[in-house]
A and B are shown apart, each in its own frame.
Chain A
Amino acid sequence: MPGERIPIDLDFPQLLEELTTGGILIVDRFPDRDDDQVAFRTLIQLDGDVLCSIHAAALTRPDFTELLDAHQQHVRAVLEAKSRRLRLLASGFGFAFGIVGVGVGVGVGVGDVVSFLQGLSVEWAMAAVSSVGGVLLVAVRRTLGDVGVRFLLRRWGLGQGRLERP
């Protein structure tokens, strides 16, 4: 059953920050506690390392399995949302390579382009490309609306072009 539509989230800087600096942190509280303690805390880092912390009090609860399942579902949903954005970012990269191709076509030296790209660290390159890609996508979205953006996403092979709340 299709879920509620949500706006396309182009918050690439946040995604990049999570991916490159701290990692993605997902926490779940105890359902029946008012304090600031959390039952699960999962950190996923850029290199794929995962650190899962479990509150000792959660282990003694009869509903531990349900809480764990709910947390894992939460983790999967967050990862799915991040992966959509990351795929979009990857397309931005592809787009940028296209621009580079045009640049080469109009006479910019290949060596200049290559040395420019080599001089960029991955995060700066990603940030630069995502900014360009993000601005363009916002402009396209303003012009064509969500339907147009979904068409473009489909055209780029970015899934179903339908963003659903998990």
Chain B
Amino acid sequence: MDLKEILGDLLTLEVNTIIKDGMTANKMPALPFALLDILAGYCGRLRGLGLNLEPYFEIDRERLWLMLDEQAGHGEPRAKKLVGEAERAHQKLRGRAPEARIELYHYLTDLWPVLERSELPGPSERRFAMDEVDNGWDSFERVRIAANQALDFRSYETADRMVLMRIVGNCSRLKFVVQGIQRNHEHWSALIPMTRNQLLMGDMHGKGVPLDKLGTAHQATVRKIWELGTEQIAAQTCIQLDGDVLTRLSPAVLEQHNEVVRSLIMKAHHESIGTSLSYWKMLIEVVQRLGNRVLRR
């Protein structure tokens, strides 16, 4: 994260207040586990909404690539475009053509042509097992497509639609974060893509999480997504430096509670806005102090 990015982010503050049925003081675990936590939360929510995820996870990545490459070979326009883009991206980053075409898999931006279903899958013989899901970029892509198709084919309550839309958006962001890690940093291969059991069984000694290779903005993104989970946001306020303030309230959450509790939620939200503004002011003061000291010398 460069200074420009930090200052750019400081121009908009976002305050979220959420109500959780249960929470502990646990900090976010190391990135490979945090990614699995996020996936587990999203998969759990999608299954709770009656979605069968197994068809989206049953095809392994080698077969997915072969299917997509074959589709491209037959001239399917979307597959052809995706494979062409992957070839160009590989050439640009590596400066050469791939030794094996499967290397292009990590340069794909979309798996929609091979994972899309003509209708939402019904119950399948084989049950979806979360412990077989790994933390690779394509796991986020599979969940993204499943949630997207759920939105396309079924009607949900507004609150559930909002959560589904958040799952789609966050999986989209995480897909590119993890894909960037996988294709640019060889030393992550011992940690991504791995299932939880593989991580736990593997000798983790000497396999410290090389967080220095993950951009600060990406770390903050993962942290926020992990923290938010799949809970509904009761209140959200966005404050822009030009003076615009936008507050959104969730009718679903507010309707669940009586007037007294609603006012308590709003009180907590207002307090958090105060915290955000104080923190922002403190950062600006530090920048100002730094500027003054540099200019004084």
Q: Which residues of A contact B (CB under 8 A)?
A: 20-23, 25, 27, 29, 36-38, 41-56, 59-60, 64-65, 68, 72, 75-76, 79, 83, 86-87, 89-91, 93-94, 97-98, 101, 121-123, 156-157
Q: Which residues of B contact A (CB under 8 A)?
A: 1-3, 6, 9-10, 13-25, 27-28, 211, 216, 219-220, 223-224, 227-228, 231, 257, 261, 264-265, 267-269, 271-276, 278-280, 282-283, 285-287, 289-290, 293-294, 297
4 shortest interchain CB distances as A-B pairs:
A94-B293, A47-B9, A52-B272, A50-B276
In the docked arrangement, what's the CA distance between A97 and B294, Å? 7
In the docked arrangement, what's the CA distance between A37 and B189, Å? 35
Q: Is the CB of B279 within 8 A of A60?
A: no
- Give the chain A neighbours of B216 by CB distance below 8 A: 20-21, 46, 121-123
Q: Is the CB of A48 within 8 A of B294?
A: no
Q: Which residue on chain A has the smallest CB distance to residue B31?
A: A21
Q: Is the CB of A22 within 8 A of B223?
A: yes
The smallest C-beta distance from A79 to any residue of chain B, in angstroms, reads 6
Known: A23-B223, A50-B276, A68-B264. A94 touches B14 (CB 8 A): no
Q: Is the CB of B275 within 8 A of A76?
A: yes
**In-complex Cβ contact of B25 among A29, A75, A98 (8 A):** A29
Q: Is the CB of B276 within 8 A of A49?
A: yes
* 28 pairs, A vs B, C-beta closer than 8 Å: A21-B219, A21-B220, A22-B219, A38-B23, A41-B25, A44-B276, A47-B13, A49-B276, A50-B14, A50-B275, A51-B15, A51-B16, A51-B227, A52-B18, A52-B268, A52-B269, A54-B19, A55-B22, A68-B268, A72-B274, A75-B275, A76-B278, A79-B275, A87-B289, A91-B293, A121-B1, A122-B2, A123-B1
**In-complex Cβ contact of A122 among B3, B17, B21, B285 (8 A):** B3
- Give the chain A neighbours of B21 by CB distance below 8 A: 55-56
- Give the chain A neighbours of B264 by CB distance below 8 A: 59, 64-65, 68
Q: Is the CB of B290 within 8 A of A48?
A: no
Q: Is the CB of A59 within 8 A of B276?
A: no
- Give the chain A neighbours of B220 by CB distance below 8 A: 20-23, 45-47
Q: Is the CB of B15 within 8 A of A49?
A: yes
- Give the chain B neighbours of A123 by CB distance below 8 A: 1, 216
In the docked arrangement, what's the CA distance between A5 and B264, Å? 36
Q: Is the CB of A94 within 8 A of B294?
A: yes
- Give the chain A neighbours of B275 by CB distance below 8 A: 42, 44, 50, 52, 72, 75-76, 79
In the docked arrangement, what's the CA distance between A150 and B3, Å? 30
In the docked arrangement, what's the CA distance between A53 and B297, Å? 44
A sample of 8 more A-B contacts (CB under 8 A), given A37-B23, A90-B290, is A21-B223, A36-B24, A46-B1, A56-B21, A59-B19, A86-B283, A90-B293, A121-B216
- Give the chain A neighbours of B3 by CB distance below 8 A: 122
In the docked arrangement, what's the CA distance between A164 and B285, Å? 21
Q: Is the CB of A54 within 8 A of B279?
A: no
In the docked arrangement, what's the CA distance between A20 and B220, Å? 7
